[in-house]
Structure 1
Amino acid sequence: MSIAVVEVNRKSILHNVEFFKQKSPNCTLMAVVKANAYGHGMEGVAQLLDGKVDCFGVARVSEAIVLRQVGIRGPIVLLEGFFPHDDINDLLDFNLQPVIHSSWQIDVLNTIPFANEITVWFKIDTGMHRLGFHFDEAINEFNRLASCKAVRQPINIISHFSSADELGSSQTNTQIARFNEFARSVNGCQQSIAASGGLLAWPDSHLDMIRVGIALYGVSPFSDAVADLQPAMTLKSELIAVRKHEKGQSVGYGQTWTSESDTVLGVVAMGYGDGYPRDIPENTPVSINGRLVPIVGRVSMDMIVVNLGQHCQDKPGDEVIFWGKELPVEQIAKHTGMSAYELLTRLTSRAKIRYKD
């Protein structure tokens, strides 16, 4: 039985899906389940949402193949397309929809002899400057892609925001305008530019398809939690020891923390071997028996020490929550300077996923 547990509430995920459907009733919805569904378990989340969303988004062909192997039959979009050493036949064999962002990918598609086999998304670089075709080459490359016999017509169009989480930035409106300008100039099909930040803050970006990533799991893409979302994950473990600790004594590797008074310390079965950050700042809070207590000393591979206070009543076996409904991961992100994205996706397989309703 695992002590470090990633508890995932299925009802919360379903609530968030319904929230976005109501927020964008005229859009189709992509559930992004890459990176093990942001730590929530890719297979379990996809099986939960199969038939409830319009398609799934992943980063790698290998992720898509796993979804097919667990019974997902609906559309799967490869958000990074296919890579130079991928087997191009996997696109056909597993009915995958790649995002086309580079001319070399079009060259590869031109080698496929079968006609009208692959649904594709053409990525236009509207300002992220990471993947996608530049404006000065985009129309020519779009037409070249459209001439591939293997590609189904019409072609979908996609882009990605660089600053949707910065509500005061003009960059997002600039990107929307660039995207719309390009979309008017070609014969495209579905259009998509809004991920979680765009969905929540930029209604003009919703277009045909919305892509719900971190917000699907009830976590805000901004610095503060969003009231209408329900966080699905509770990362928790338990106390395995409760120890008296004298003033002036240190604890843990490097003796980085020394107690200023007599107190009681708790040892928790959790560490960087479970994916909790090793360099987490001291005094990062955890929740025990309804109150917040600070982490002290260094996080080790398997254990974390917390300061329970001199008059605590806590005992071995008591639950310790590192983030969840009562302690939002956004709060931990703000305290540590790490993003919620990183905190969720760095969890390891030793922290076992358990689903609840």
Structure 2
Amino acid sequence: MSRPVLASVDLHALRQNLQVVRRAAPGSRVWSVVKANAYGHGLDRVWRGLETTDGFAMLNLEEAILLRERGWKGPILLLEGFFHADELPLFDKYRLTTTVHSNWQLKALQDAQLHAPLDVYLKINSGMNRLGFLPERAQTLWQQLRGLKNVGDMTLMSHFAEAEKPDGIERAMTQILQATEGLACSRSLANSAATLWHPQSHGDWVRPGIILYGASPSGQWQDIATAGLKPVMTLSSEIIGVQTLKAGDRVGYGGRYTARGEQRIGIVATGYADGYPRHAPDGTPVLVDGVRTGTVGTVSMDMLAVDLTPCPQAGIGTPVELWGREIKIDDVAAAAGTVGYELMCALAPRVPVVTV
């Protein structure tokens, strides 16, 4: 028998989440963001669940080529563009849309020998201060790109740093609008949070990421609880051992947890080598046989312990949901001091994944 830890990916939920996005941003086309191997869900596994999207957005050229080889003929956007000028022939061959965020990319595009112009997203830095040109350069750069023979359709792009806040995009939107006044151009500004909560930013294309997978861009599930989004990934396992503690007994490495009285705990075949956060504190939520309880003690490489007090019927072989439909990944992440994004992307290659 194989180890019982298992991840499942719900393609029906994925399709439903895409429809939620379309309802939230009517009139905008959708870039489904599938970077980081579709946020840990497996690009090759899930892309067909998103095949009604208008385009796919990602980082890795290899993943873009995979989509083309699987038969996707629609737009593909590389969110950080090409990393080296010698990648441009592949962008040309596979007809990929490139982001341009740096002067060297402008020069590389100008000098490249291409069979046909590439569509370009001009990235403006509106306060994130990672990639992109200063807003005051937008007009000049737009005209410069427009004059290059290797540039086809163009779109203005930015990325909000604080879109999860009620007033989080006001300053950035003001900068963008002022800098591009009079510029007739397509725009792609809205990430997941802006797609849900800032309709004034939607423009021609929205770029949902985390919400496609049923988690909150704010890191708080309650912020999206009524949006109609469904968790796509479930991480599950089973109890493989039971211990009965007496008062004063400690659990796990370092003895972090101490029993206050007699207590049954279950040992679950999941640990940080599977992608579960090692720093999850006592009480991190978990579902045992349909009953919500919490972890106890330090998470080990291959195992963790859970309190069986609320579920005295649980024993060897009892099913456990670490996150998924009932235990929201945002709640696990919040308990562990991180975000759902990280937990999704941290799912270990050794964990078998099935689609449902």
Counterparts of 1:326 and 1:224, CA distance in 2: 12
Deviations 1:96-144 (A, max 9, x none): 1111110100111112123642111011112222111102333222222
Amino acid at match of 1:208: D
Counterparts of 1:304 and 1:343, CA distance in 2: 16
Counterparts of 1:264-279 in structure 2, within 5 Å, are 264-279=264-279
TM-score when scaled to structure 1?
0.93
Deviation for aligned residue 1:257: 1.8
Counterparts of 1:13-32 in structure 2, within 5 Å, are 13-32=14-33
Q: Does 1:181 align with 2:182?
A: no
Do the aligned residues in 2 keep the contact of 1:12 with 1:230 (CA within 8 Å)? yes
Counterparts of 1:127 and 1:185, CA distance in 2: 22
Give the ranges of 4+ consecutive aligned residues of structure 1 lying more than 3 Å apart after TM superposition.
181-187
Give the aligned partner of residue 164 of structure 2: 165
Give the aligned partner of residue 36 of structure 1: 37
Amino acid at match of 1:348: A
Do the aligned residues in 2 keep the contact of 1:238 with 1:320 (CA within 8 Å)? yes
Counterparts of 1:130 and 1:311, CA distance in 2: 48
Do the aligned residues in 2 keep the contact of 1:2 with 1:352 (CA within 8 Å)? no
Amino acid at match of 1:180: L
- Name the SS for the 1:242 alignment partner: strand
Do the aligned residues in 2 keep the contact of 1:263 with 1:310 (CA within 8 Å)? no
Counterparts of 2:266 and 2:141, CA distance in 1: 60
Do the aligned residues in 1 keep the contact of 2:64 with 2:76 (CA within 8 Å)? yes
Counterparts of 2:289 and 2:62, CA distance in 1: 41
Q: Does 1:45 align with 2:46?
A: yes
Give the aligned partner of residue 213 of structure 2: 217
Deviation for aligned residue 1:299: 0.8
Counterparts of 2:312 and 2:232, CA distance in 1: 30
Do the aligned residues in 2 keep the contact of 1:77 with 1:96 (CA within 8 Å)? yes
Do the aligned residues in 2 keep the contact of 1:242 with 1:265 (CA within 8 Å)? yes
TM-score when scaled to structure 2?
0.93
Counterparts of 2:321 and 2:256, CA distance in 1: 23
- Picking from 185, 201, 204, the partner of 2:200 is 204
- Name the SS for the 1:176 alignment partner: helix
Give the aligned partner of residue 237 of structure 1: 237
What is the aligned length?
A: 351
Give the aligned partner of residue 89 of structure 2: 89
Which of 281-290 and 249-258 deviates more? 249-258
Counterparts of 1:144-163 in structure 2, within 5 Å, are 144-152=144-152, 154-163=153-162
Do the aligned residues in 2 keep the contact of 1:270 with 1:302 (CA within 8 Å)? yes
Do the aligned residues in 2 keep the contact of 1:126 with 1:159 (CA within 8 Å)? yes
- Name the SS for the 1:193 alignment partner: strand
Amino acid at match of 1:163: E
Which of 27-36 and 78-87 deviates more? 78-87
Counterparts of 1:49 and 1:66, CA distance in 2: 15
Counterparts of 1:316 and 1:351, CA distance in 2: 20
Do the aligned residues in 2 keep the contact of 1:30 with 1:53 (CA within 8 Å)? yes
Counterparts of 1:330 and 1:99, CA distance in 2: 30
- Name the SS for the 2:36 alignment partner: helix
Distance 1:265 1:144, change over 3 A: same
Deviation for aligned residue 1:311: 7.3
- Name the SS for the 1:87 alignment partner: helix
Which of 219-228 and 11-20 deviates more? 219-228
Counterparts of 1:213 and 1:107, CA distance in 2: 30
Do the aligned residues in 2 keep the contact of 1:113 with 1:149 (CA within 8 Å)? no
Do the aligned residues in 2 keep the contact of 1:115 with 1:151 (CA within 8 Å)? no
Distance 1:45 1:284, change over 3 A: same
- Name the SS for the 1:219 alignment partner: coil
Counterparts of 1:54-133 in structure 2, within 5 Å, are 54-84=54-84, 87-114=87-114, 116-133=116-133
Distance 1:310 1:173, change over 3 A: closer
Deviations 1:53-75 (A, max 9, x none): 10001022122122223332221
Deviation for aligned residue 1:86: 5.8
Amino acid at match of 2:206: I
Deviation for aligned residue 1:145: 2.0
Distance 1:43 1:131, change over 3 A: same
CA RMSD of aligned residues (A): 1.9
- Name the SS for the 2:71 alignment partner: coil
Counterparts of 2:114 and 2:232, CA distance in 1: 43
